[in-house]
Amino acid sequence: MTHVSEITEHGHPSQEAPKQSMLATGSTIVKTLANPGALRKMQTMDPDEERYVRPTREYELPEYREGMKHCISNEKYLRPTRWCNPREPLVIAMANELRAYELSDYEFAEAAYWFVKTKFTPEFLSLNSVSDSLKRGTGTCFHMNSVWVALCRAAGIKARYKSFTMVLPDEIMSVASSFGEAGEMTGDLFNRGFPEMEGEVCIDGTWTVGHVSMRPELLASNYLPITRFGEDAIGLTLLLAPGGTIKRFESVSLKFDILMKAIMWSAPAMMERANLMTTESRSMGRTIIEMAGGLEAYDRAARARASASL
Amino acid sequence: MEAAKETQIQDRLHRLNERIGLSYVPPRETWTPAEEALYKPVNLLRVPVEEARVMQLKAIKYTFTRHYTLNRFYRRYCDTKGVTPDDVKTYDDLEKIPLVPDLTFKWHPSGKDFAGWIADVYTGDLPPVTIESANPTFDDVLNAYNAAGLMVTHSTGTSGQPTVIPRDMKTARYLQYGMTKMLIDLCDPTSIDHALSLFPKPTRANLFVAKVQGPLDQFFEDHHYALDFDISAELAMRAAVDTNDAAEQLSAEEQLRKIFTIGATWLERYDKTTDTIWMLAPPALFSVFLDSLEAQGKRFEFGERGFLRTAGGWKTRDGKNIPHESFRKRVEEVLGIPETHCLDIYGMSEMNSIMITCPEGHYYHPPPWLRLFVLDASLTPVGYEKFGRFAFLDPLVYSYPGFVMTGDKVRLLEHCPVCDRPGPVIDQTISRLKSAEMRGCAVQLAKIFKRDVEEAK
């Protein structure tokens, strides 16, 4: 198993989070753990709170057959990496289902992109194999990007991860007195600790980006444009944090799994609420797309609006 | 006793109709099913449940047909959902009517595109509108529509973008008349001598909370507005969010001092009289007003001749909840107005009706024409006793589809646990649902984290 982490971004300022901010993140975690009220809230659902129900998987699982074509190269960006094994039978079967080796590399990468983007639903979970994600149809941005990267690698297309820290919305980031301690704690913790993930595929020597982790309905719930294959979410639906880190790497770092497991263990109710919020946003976004007259009409309107505001 | 009360309400209604004139009450023979729901009942808070259901079905189906026929964007949406007015045959079928997210009225473009947006959401034909200025402000645009015979209002835009609602005059009058009529069971505005409003004056702002007070002006001998100055949309939005600008903070504090001086002087004027007084204010502002009176050592004893109507949410500017009960107790301590005379109004700019708390239990009672829903995360109605997203079908809206999913979290009860008024009520615990801001995992988790820390306090 190879674990390669690299920072290859050009044209962005220094990548490392200042030590002061890292200390603030640490102190926020300590503060949270030392706040019994907050901890209880994050660990326990209230009796009258609606409970999260995982949505049904939106696709059939294809059957794996011996001899299905797939890439066996051990070259960097094609080989198996942590939680991203393109040689798992289900991954190979799905890549073939999406017509790997029949379509051009670009067409396949795009087909796999839309498969993940429109069929997967965000759900906060600790990391797992790509097959498990495929069986479930849900996951975090790490899970979804791993599915896309693995499918592309199985099809012989070099693929890697890209992570960055983004600007949180004003209402969270503002240090104005009105947002108080909760706002500051949130800013400290999430602005440094939780990156957003994209994927990149290498086609004819050029790396092409894709943001698979937000399905159209979720973007529509906030009137954001629907990012297409080849479009960077940075600058369209997300803003890079000032001095924020853009990293490109072949494999997901172990620390993200530890972090997710720690949160899942210490704050299960918080995660359930976040999942419930996804369900709600999905329903609302679907309504908004329908009202706009379909996906294309919606996207046109949202892009016109985004160009004025982001 | 019942008969005497009925006669009293009838007298009040008669006085109300006399005062506000024919422009508000069309001839009976011309009433549509929606108008019948508004004008026919004598006491809006005492309509039996079955009667109210029949009324809702007729009125809502009538208005749904209107929007389906005359509103292109809503019709397209209904067609996507596969629902037509023919599908609404029973009371339960009302659940099929497609609901519009409240965000629809927030996501309006600016500049020239605004006209296209308003034409899209508007039901029927818009009057011709001329905007004089080459570079119009948001208020210039709204004023141009209002000069053309509409009542286009905006909200304060606490979430960053104000809600804009285009009402034709018919819809606007339904709102104003309905609001006044809702009040007559609990406190007759036509028998009150003087009023003080801590909301903007209707002629000085395009804010919904200002315009909705319209006809009240005609009832009182001395109707004083403590906020009698022009409030532009920009100023309203700046006031709704906290600022770090020292000069702006100073100016806001100065303005508040003036408002409170006007309020205190007004109270002193009627303190030693036997006149009845009525105050209308947002709880957050009134709470600070009470602080200011207390700080100055001012106390009043209005007793049974004093009334307070609050509206506008129960959160302070720094996001803290104002407990209803302790608020009412403070009003009694400082002004001598009994708790039963402190009633709260729940409404929103998208809705053309109001709900009012009963003096007995302080639960929100809706008017009989309004169909209320509570939706779960998948936007499916969940029935009584459960918290969820508030949605409503309001048949008194002619100029835009008043079938709306809001951003409020409420709980619906089948009947008031305290008073005997029929029909469902909304629990006092009303909060805002956090918008998901679905941009990425970190933002989503950050929002939940912040909310959990805040709520744990």
Which residue among A224, A269, A270 places its CB closest to the CB of B439? A224
Q: Are B357 and B187 in contact (CB under 8 A)?
A: no
A222 and B457 within 8 Å at the Cβ level: the answer is no
* The predicted structure's pLDDT at residue A18: 45
Q: Are B392 and B351 in contact (CB under 8 A)?
A: yes
- Amino acid residing at A294: G
Min Cα–Cα distance to chain B from A236, Å: 10
Compute the CA torsion angle A49, A50, A54, A59 (nearest 10 deg): -150
Best mutation target among A240, A284, A300, A309 (most B Cβ atoms within 10 Å) is: A284
The reply to whether B453 touches chain A by the CB within 8 Å rule is: yes
Residues 308 to 337 of B: which have CB under 8 A from any A CB?
Answer: 317-319
Tell me, what's the ipTM? Answer: 0.73
Residue of A nearest to B159 (CA): A171
Instruction: Output the six-digit token pair for B367.
Output: 């008017």
| pLDDT over threshold 90, residue B456 | no
* The predicted structure's pLDDT at residue A15: 38
The stretch B353-361 carries a mean pLDDT of 95
The residues facing A69 across adjacent strands are: none
A37 and B436 within 8 Å at the Cβ level: the answer is no
B455 and A287 within 8 Å at the Cβ level: the answer is no
The stretch B31-54 carries a mean pLDDT of 95
**Residue B331: count of CB within 10 angstroms of its CB:** 24
Checking DSSP bridges between strand B100-101 and strand A121-122, what pairing results, if any?
unpaired
Q: How many helices (H) and strands (E) does chain B have?
A: 13, 15
Specify the DSSP class assigned to residue A98: T
**Residue B347: count of CB within 10 angstroms of its CB:** 20
Which residue among A50, A263, A305 places its CB closest to the CB of B109? A305
What residues have CB less than 8 Å from B350, skipping those under 6 apart? B102, B105, B163, B165, B402, B404, B406
Task: Report the SS3 class of residue A270.
Answer: helix
Q: pLDDT tens digits for B226-279?
A: 888 888 777 776 665 555 565 666 577 788 888 899 999 999 999 989 999 999
Q: Which residues of B touch A181 (CB under 8 A)?
A: 453
Q: Which residues of A touch B101 (CB under 8 A)?
A: 284, 287-288, 291
Q: Which of A261, A86, A235, A236 is nearest to A160 (CA)?
A: A86
The stretch B294-301 carries a mean pLDDT of 95
Q: Which residues of A touch B378 (CB under 8 A)?
A: 279-280, 283
CA angle A284, A290, A294 (to 5 degrees): 130
B378 and A176 within 8 Å at the Cβ level: the answer is no
Min Cα–Cα distance to chain A from B305, Å: 37
What residues have CB less than 8 Å from A299, skipping those under 6 apart? A216, A225, A226
Q: Which residues of A touch B448 (CB under 8 A)?
A: 270, 273-274, 277
Q: pLDDT tens digits for A261-283?
A: 888 888 888 888 888 888 888 99
Compute the CA torsion angle A218, B449, A271, A91 (nearest 10 deg): 50
The stretch A220-225 carries a mean pLDDT of 87
Q: Which residues of B touch A186 (CB under 8 A)?
A: 446, 449-450, 453
Between B400 and B453, the more confident residue is B400
Compute the CA torsion angle A238, A242, A248, A249 (nearest 10 deg): -110
E-strand ranges in B185-341 read 194-200, 222-227, 277-281, 306-311
A185 and B453 within 8 Å at the Cβ level: the answer is yes
The stretch B14-19 carries a mean pLDDT of 76
| pLDDT over threshold 90, residue B88 | yes
Instruction: Output the six-digit token pair for B366.
Output: 């809706």
Of all residues in chain A, the percent with pLDDT exceeding 90 is 50
Q: Output Rg (C-alpha) for chain B, integer angstroms.
A: 22
> Which of A11-25, A92-106, A291-305, B127-141 is predicted least confidently?
A11-25
Residues 372 to 401 of B: which have CB under 8 A from any A CB?
Answer: 376-379, 386-389
Best mutation target among A53, A212, A287 (most B Cβ atoms within 10 Å) is: A287
Q: pLDDT tens digits for A158-207?
A: 999 998 877 665 544 443 333 455 555 555 555 555 678 899 999 999 99
DSSP of B254-284:
HHHHHHHHHHHHHHHHHHTS---EEEEE-HH
Q: pLDDT tens digits for A49-104?
A: 889 999 999 999 999 999 999 999 999 999 999 999 999 999 999 999 999 999 99
Between A230 and B191, the more confident residue is A230
Which residue among B242, B436, B439 places its CB closest to the CB of A277? B436
Best mutation target among B67, B411, B452 (most A Cβ atoms within 10 Å) is: B452
pTM of the predicted structure, to 2 decimals: 0.84
The reply to whether B258 touches chain A by the CB within 8 Å rule is: no
Residue of A nearest to B114 (CA): A305
| pLDDT over threshold 80, residue B425 | yes
- Amino acid residing at B133: S
- From CA B32, how far away is CA B59, in angstroms rounded? 8
Which residue among A38, A50, A181 places its CB closest to the CB of B388? A50
The reply to whether B246 touches chain A by the CB within 8 Å rule is: no
The residues facing B373 across adjacent strands are: B391
Q: Which residues of A touch B437 (CB under 8 A)?
A: 169, 222
> CA dist B68 to B40, B75, B123, B325, Å?
26, 5, 9, 43
The reply to whether B128 touches chain A by the CB within 8 Å rule is: no
Q: pLDDT tens digits for B184-235?
A: 878 777 788 999 999 888 888 888 888 887 777 777 888 889 888 888 777 7
Min Cα–Cα distance to chain B from A102, Å: 33
Q: Which residues of A touch B454 (CB under 8 A)?
A: 180, 182
Q: At what angle do helices B49-70 and B72-81 cross, to 10 degrees?
A: 110
Residue of B nearest to A223 (CA): B107
B438 and A288 within 8 Å at the Cβ level: the answer is no
* The predicted structure's pLDDT at residue B439: 56
- From CA A209, how far away is CA B441, in angstroms rounded? 18
Confidence class of residue A308 from pLDDT cuts 50, 70 and 90? low
- From CA B101, how far away is CA A285, in angstroms rounded? 10
**Residue B303: count of CB within 10 angstroms of its CB:** 12
> Which of A20-29, B32-41, B158-167, B304-313 is predicted least confidently?
A20-29
The residues facing B307 across adjacent strands are: B278
The reply to whether B245 touches chain A by the CB within 8 Å rule is: no
* The predicted structure's pLDDT at residue B359: 94
Which residue among B76, B103, B452 places its CB closest to the CB of A41? B452
Residue of A nearest to B316 (CA): A178
Q: Which residue has the tokens 């609050």?
A: B310
Q: What is the spatial order of strands in the sheet that A196-203 belongs to?
A: A5-6, A246-249, A158-164, A196-203, A206-210
B76 and A224 within 8 Å at the Cβ level: the answer is no
In 3-state terms chain B splits into helix, strand, coil percentages (rounded to 5) of 45, 15, 40
